[in-house]
């Protein structure tokens, strides 16, 4: 039986990687995978791909995998990862860049539809909750 | 001299108790507070994308209003407004090109922004300008015996360029509670995120956070939790029923703004406290310590 190992999606230095670095302002190759970001992440239990794994996938330019993770919508930019990274990488900015790539591509693939909320929920939620959710999850 | 005060949207809506207690307690401290004229939304969350200049317009417009009030600094008590305004300010001070773009876009404004306004949080103002020793002298009704868990969340201590206290173990609120005569309790979860905007689309995530954070306060035998962020307040207070459904052993605890405890200790009236706006009524916990 022939076994084929396909590494064709791995493109370090691709335009996709360059775009993540441009939007986030971060040098992805500075990460040495210590895992501290994932260890302290309060949202990690709700993520399918952990923050350190997101950075690794970003280094390798695995676009399709990254842009379809649940994780990028779970991150709330609490900055715990940024604050503890020994390499001063702003991981939250990388998550923001990935969200922006999905929200900016013109397909209006929003992750929150305010019309689906009940009038009771809309009445009770403070403006700070509604605006921050729409800023993070809608184009 | 008057201190310019930026309340923010939520303090004029669900968090009116934060607004009135801020203004009343500052009056007791003999600080003349003036609400910023024509303020607008702070932007709520900082734009993390380096090429997103548009979402820095709202904070910068507020900084222009401060200049128009002939002030070089202003104070806000909302942690979220503080974080967004301060980060946008740091950002445009560092990036002349972004500031130039913003000023050009805001061409109808008579005042141009030049990075010449400072953003202060009320806790920072109380610690560094008023001083907790002087603040303690104004206490008429000490919070004797009241066990308080001080919750900072994310926005007062992260990222480091906006933090005015240690990122992992801040103490400014504990020192305030001590000055008011109360007893701050150790609180390992004090800088853990509450789940923030997931309260809109995924409240089950917030319920899990609320269970963990409030559970930690209860383990320390806290009577209540104090906060500085109206989103944390909403999540930790109004999501307690969801936390109870998740964990039958969950114990309800009231969530107050630190300014409400100041106003209480300074002897302000009920209209300055607005305990009617809470989901979990703070009065039984306060009454048990002889404070209500």
Element (H, E) at B148: strand B147-150
Q: Which chain A residues have a beta carbon less than 8 Å from that of B159?
A: 79, 82-83, 90
Q: Map out the domains of chain A as residue ranges.
A: 15-108, 110-138
Q: Is the Cβ of B208 closer than 8 Å to some Cβ of chain A?
A: yes
Whether the pLDDT of residue A9 is over 60: the answer is no
Q: Where are the domains of chain B?
A: 2-123, 141-288
Q: Which of A42, A74, A127 sits opposite B192 (nearest CB)?
A: A42
Of A25, A112, A117, the CB nearest to B50: A25
Return the exposure string of B73-97: e unless at least 16 CB atoms fall within 10 Å of the residue's CB, then b: ebbbbbbbbbbbbbbbbbbbeebee
- Closest listed residue to residue A92, CA positions, set A79, A73, A103: A79
pLDDT tens-digit map of B257-285: 999 999 999 999 999 999 999 999 999 99
Which of A96, A132, A136 has its CB closest to that of B231?
A132
pLDDT at A34: 98
The answer, yes or no, to whether residue B129 has pLDDT greater than 80, is yes
Q: Please tell me the distance in Å from A54's CA to the nearest CA on chain B.
A: 17
Backbone dihedral angles phi then psi of residue A117, each to the nearest 5 degrees: -75, 145
Asked whether A65 and A73 are in contact (CB, 8 A), the reply is no
- In angstroms, rounded to a whole number, what is the distance separating the alpha carbons of residues B283 and B292? 6
State the pLDDT at residue A1.
Answer: 63
For helices B96-105 and B57-68, the axis angle rounded to 10 degrees is 80
- Average the pLDDT over A60-78 and give the result: 97
- Tell me if B85 sits within 8 A of B119, measured CB to CB: yes
pLDDT, average across residues B53-69: 97
The closest CB to that of B50, out of A24, A45, A131, belongs to A24
Q: Above pLDDT 90, what percent of chain B?
A: 99
Among the listed residues B215, B274, B273, the one whose alpha carbon sits nearest the alpha carbon of residue B239: B215
pLDDT at A8 over 60: no
Residue B147 has pLDDT above 90, yes or no: yes
Chain centroid, CA B4 distance in Å:
16
CATH of domain B141-288: 3.40.50.11810
Model confidence at A5: pLDDT above 90: no
Q: What percent of chain B has pLDDT over 70?
A: 100
CATH of B2-123, one of 3.40.190.80, 1.20.1050.140, 3.40.190.180, 3.30.365.10: 1.20.1050.140
Residues of A near B (Cβ–Cβ under 8 Å) read: 22-25, 42-43, 45-46, 74, 76-80, 82-83, 90, 92-93, 96-97, 100, 111-112, 117, 121, 124-133, 135-137
Query: What pLDDT was estimated at residue A7?
Result: 57
**A106: number of CA atoms within 13 Å, CB side?**
0
B106 at interface of A, judged by CB pairs closer than 8 A: no
The mean per-residue pLDDT over the stretch A74-78 comes to 98
CA-based nearest residue to B74, from B114, B111, B19, B34 = B34
**Cα–Cα distance for residue pair B183/B206, rounded to 1 Å:** 28
Whether B49 sits inside 8 A of A100 (CB atoms) is: yes
pLDDT tens-place string over residues B217-248: 999 999 999 999 999 999 999 999 999 999 99
At B243, which helix (H) or strand (E)? helix B240-246
Q: Which pLDDT score, from 0 to 100, does residue A6 have? A: 61
Given an 8 Å threshold on Cβ–Cβ distance, is A96 in contact with B167? no
Is B219 in contact with B186 (CB distance < 8 Å)?
Answer: no
pLDDT of residue A81: 98
Distance CA A2, CA A113 (A): 48
- Decide which of 1.10.1060.10, 3.40.1160.10, 3.40.50.720, 2.60.40.420 is the CATH code for A15-108: 1.10.1060.10
pTM of the predicted protein model: 0.95
Task: Identify whether the C-beta of residue B177 lies closer than 8 Å to the C-beta of residue B261.
Answer: yes
Res. B30: pLDDT tops 90 = yes
Q: B98: distance to nearest CA of chain A, Å?
A: 14
Q: Where are the beta strands (DSSP E) in A23-69?
A: none
Q: How far apart are CA A55 and CA A66, in angstroms?
A: 10
Q: Quick: pLDDT tens for B68-119.
A: 999 999 999 999 999 999 999 999 999 999 999 999 999 999 999 999 999 9
């Amino acid at each position: 039986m022939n076994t084929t190992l396909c590494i064709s999606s791995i493109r370090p230095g691709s335009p996709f990687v360059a775009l993540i670095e441009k939007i986030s302002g971060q040098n992805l190759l500075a990460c040495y995978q210590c895992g501290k970001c994932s260890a302290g992440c309060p949202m990690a239990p709700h993520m399918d791909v952990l923050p350190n794994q997101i950075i690794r996938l970003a280094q390798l330019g695995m676009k399709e995998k990254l842009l379809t993770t649940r994780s990028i919508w779970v991150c709330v930019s609490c900055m715990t990862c940024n604050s503890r990274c020994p390499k001063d990488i702003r991981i939250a900015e990388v998550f923001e860049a990935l969200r922006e790539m999905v929200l900016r591509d013109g397909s209006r693939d929003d992750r929150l539809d305010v019309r689906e909320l009940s009038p009771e929920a809309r009445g009770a939620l403070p403006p700070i909750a509604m605006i921050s959710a729409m800023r993070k999850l809608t184009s | 001299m008057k201190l310019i005060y930026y309340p923010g949207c939520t303090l004029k809506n669900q968090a009116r108790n934060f607004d009135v207690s801020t203004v009343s307690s500052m009056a007791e401290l003999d600080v003349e507070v003036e609400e910023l004229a024509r303020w607008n939304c702070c932007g709520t969350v900082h734009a993390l994308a380096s090429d997103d200049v548009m979402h820095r317009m709202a904070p910068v417009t507020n900084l222009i209003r401060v200049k128009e009030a002939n002030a070089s600094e202003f104070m806000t008590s909302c942690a979220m407004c503080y974080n967004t305004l301060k980060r946008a300010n740091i950002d445009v001070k560092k990036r002349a090109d972004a500031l130039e773009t913003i000023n050009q876009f805001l061409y109808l404004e008579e005042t141009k922004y030049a990075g010449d306004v400072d953003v202060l949080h009320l806790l920072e103002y109380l610690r560094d300008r008023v001083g907790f020793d002087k603040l303690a002298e104004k206490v008429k009704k000490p919070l004797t015996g009241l066990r308080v868990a001080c919750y900072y969340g994310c926005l007062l201590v992260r990222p480091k360029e906006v933090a005015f206290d240690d990122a992992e173990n801040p103490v400014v609120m504990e020192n305030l509670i001590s000055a008011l005569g109360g007893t701050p309790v150790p609180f390992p979860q004090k800088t853990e995120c509450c789940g923030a905007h997931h309260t809109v689309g995924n409240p089950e995530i917030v319920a899990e956070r609320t269970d963990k954070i409030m559970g930690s306060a209860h383990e320390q035998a806290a009577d209540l939790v104090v906060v500085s962020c109206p989103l944390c307040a909403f999540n930790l207070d109004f999501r307690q029923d969801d936390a109870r459904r998740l964990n039958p052993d969950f114990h309800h605890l009231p969530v107050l703004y630190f300014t409400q405890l100041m106003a209480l200790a300074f002897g302000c009236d009920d209209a300055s406290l607005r305990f009617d706006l809470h989901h979990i009524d703070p009065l039984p916990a306060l009454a048990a310590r002889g404070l209500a």
